[in-house]
Amino acid sequence: MTQPTTAGTDWTDPTCPVARTLDMVGDRWSLLIVRDAMDGARAFGDFQQATGIARNILTDRLRRLVQRGIIERKPAPSGRRHIYTLTPAGRDLFTVVVALRQWGERHTFMPTEERSVLVDEYGLPIPELQPKSSTGRPVNPETTSVQRNR
């Protein structure tokens, strides 16, 4: 498995995987760029149109995502521009994006408010993600703990 490039990254909390992840992709624009790459955006203009992000901010976030091993930058077939595709590490953020989407569906919309829906290949909504224990039972903050490895 290829490790993402983390050179020059100052970790907020070097022992916490959540903090390290947020240091790499935790701002709004980075996650929206990853979301749009998952939805098929490839060109700079695709990302700009989908997000409405300013060109300078988009340039910066794409550069960071490439440096951090989340997105790969390649010459377009025409050779005049570049395309951006998710790396395996970027594709691994799919579950994170789905979890954020589902949290947003539950907590940021009124029941009658219109919203987009993530569906599977059959057109059916994706079931709610639920973390499970090693025995397959649902877990929550009361039934789990963080174990510090020394």
Domains identified in the chain, total number: 1
User: Do the beta carbons of residue 132 and residue 95 sit within 8 Å?
Assistant: no
Q: Which of 13-17, 40-44, 68-72 is least confident?
A: 13-17
Q: Which of 17-21, 101-105, 125-129 is least confident?
A: 17-21
Range of the domain at 68: 17-91
Q: According to the model, what pLDDT value does residue 1 have?
A: 46
24 domain-assigned: yes
40 CB contacts (<8 Å, ≥6 apart)?
46
> What CATH number did the domain enclosing 26 receive?
1.10.10.10
Q: According to the model, what pLDDT value does residue 57 have?
A: 97
124 CB contacts (<8 Å, ≥6 apart)?
none
- What would the mean pLDDT of 113-123 be, rounded to a whole number? 95
Per-residue pLDDT tens digits for 18-47: 998 998 898 999 999 999 999 999 999 999
108 domain-assigned: no
115 domain-assigned: no
134 domain-assigned: no
Q: CA-to-CA distance for 25 and 39, rounded, in angstroms?
A: 17
Q: What is the mean pLDDT of the chain?
A: 91
CA dihedral 75, 80, 84, 85 (to 10 degrees): -50
> pTM here?
0.87
140 domain-assigned: no
47 domain-assigned: yes
User: Do the beta carbons of residue 21 and residue 95 sit within 8 Å?
Assistant: no
